[in-house]
Homo-oligomer: A and B are copies of this chain.
Amino acid sequence: MTQSYLDLRERTQARDRSLREKVMSLEEACEYINNGDHVALGGSTASRTSMAMLWALIRAKKRELSFSRSIVSTEGDLIFASGIGNHILTSWFSQGIIWGVSRVMRHYTENKLARFEEWSHMSIGLRYRAGAMGVPFMPMRSMMGSDVAGRLDNLKEMECPFTGEKIMLVPALNPDVALIHVQRCDSFGNAQLDGLTFMDIDIAMAANRVILTTERIISNDQIRRSPDQTKIPFFAVDAVVEVPYGSAPHECFGLYEPLFSHMDYYAELTRKDPAAGVNEYLEKFYYGPENWTEYLELIGLGDLLDAARRGRSIYDD
């Protein structure tokens, strides 16, 4: 995963970084992801997951993708079960603490059908950050002494040349593609995010390609009225797809909270027979619908409205 600096620069310089329109469909955006790519997911757990893009990747039958994310929720189950990838690098992987340990994650990892590569949360953030900064590593002070570090072969300990202290170095992670879901961006890819930004900014700047899904496309004029609210610059973005409720059943800050009844339904469906349950879910919600709107219809307008009411309430305080 650690690219040489000249390779990284060459890939970056080869991108068309001019101010240009890049709005397309989910299906068109799939062309920006090649089998075998390392894909970084923005958001965290059940928040601002680029679910619509994952949905499209699964329908497009991509293969041999590897993934990374700060914390993985149900989307990790779907990655393993759909067969688009069998390797996820993350710090925590389960639907969410209130639903217990994911039976799907357990099924795939315990039976060695797939790999959950565990790093500390901060180390993942610093790996993306090193990638975003164009340096080959970042120094840090955790993971030392633990078995988490012991199972990883691309960590280096060093003695600090300034202080003599023991320091852990983690290697840069420059994903081939980043999938990031945002509240709004313009057609060039200037993205403005509200609320928690998780590791998204570093992921966007580190990746060799960035696909934004967005709840809403706004004008470039609107962006230029508050440039200090822009969090991802257009030149780092390769594709923009407008997808309302693009993170459902996960949440999107300020717009909708998680669709809890759907999340409960999923947990129940996968509890007894994880493999069969998750496949039933994929059949129904991923392979069945004609398009994203049909997917949302299957989830149900009632759940969407309820989640939106709760989501917007953050601005009531």
Residues of A at under 8 Å CB distance from B?
Answer: 2, 4-5, 134-141, 154, 156, 158, 160-163, 165, 167, 169, 171-172, 194-197, 224-225, 228, 317
Partner of A162, one of B140, B156, B163, B165: B156
* A167 x B228 contact (CB < 8 A): no
* A5 x B141 contact (CB < 8 A): yes
* A137 x B156 contact (CB < 8 A): no
* A137 x B160 contact (CB < 8 A): yes
A contacts with B: majority SS: loop
Inter-chain contacts of A317 with B (CB < 8 A):
224-225
Other A-B contacts than A135-B141, A162-B171, A194-B228, 12 sampled, CB-CB below 8 A, are A4-B163, A5-B163, A134-B141, A135-B138, A135-B139, A136-B139, A136-B162, A136-B163, A136-B167, A156-B161, A156-B162, A158-B161
Partner of A140, one of B135, B163, B195: B135
Inter-chain contacts of A224 with B (CB < 8 A):
317
Taken together as a complex, chains A and B put the C-alpha atoms of A161 and B139 apart, in Å, by: 12
A205 nearest CB across to chain B (Å): 15
Taken together as a complex, chains A and B put the C-alpha atoms of A283 and B140 apart, in Å, by: 49
Inter-chain contacts of A162 with B (CB < 8 A):
2, 136-137, 154, 156, 169, 171-172
Taken together as a complex, chains A and B put the C-alpha atoms of A317 and B227 apart, in Å, by: 12
Task: Sort A-B residue pairs by CB-CB distance and give the 4 closest, nearest first.
Answer: A156-B161, A135-B139, A136-B160, A136-B163
* B137 x A139 contact (CB < 8 A): yes
Inter-chain contacts of A141 with B (CB < 8 A):
5, 134-135
Inter-chain contacts of A195 with B (CB < 8 A):
228
A130 nearest CB across to chain B (Å): 8
Taken together as a complex, chains A and B put the C-alpha atoms of A317 and B4 apart, in Å, by: 43
Taken together as a complex, chains A and B put the C-alpha atoms of A135 and B2 apart, in Å, by: 22
In the complex formed, the residue of B with least CB distance to A228 is B195
* B165 x A161 contact (CB < 8 A): no
Taken together as a complex, chains A and B put the C-alpha atoms of A167 and B137 apart, in Å, by: 10
A120 nearest CB across to chain B (Å): 15
In the complex formed, the residue of B with least CB distance to A168 is B135
Inter-chain contacts of A167 with B (CB < 8 A):
135-136
Inter-chain contacts of A135 with B (CB < 8 A):
138-141, 167
Offer 8 A-B interface pairs, CB within 8 angstroms, sorted by A.
A5-B141, A5-B165, A135-B167, A136-B139, A138-B139, A156-B162, A196-B228, A225-B317
In the complex formed, the residue of B with least CB distance to A6 is B165
Inter-chain contacts of A158 with B (CB < 8 A):
161
A132 nearest CB across to chain B (Å): 13
Inter-chain contacts of A156 with B (CB < 8 A):
161-162
Taken together as a complex, chains A and B put the C-alpha atoms of A158 and B138 apart, in Å, by: 13
A298 nearest CB across to chain B (Å): 33
Taken together as a complex, chains A and B put the C-alpha atoms of A139 and B172 apart, in Å, by: 12
Inter-chain contacts of A171 with B (CB < 8 A):
162
In the complex formed, the residue of B with least CB distance to A254 is B228
A5 nearest CB across to chain B (Å): 6
A7 nearest CB across to chain B (Å): 10
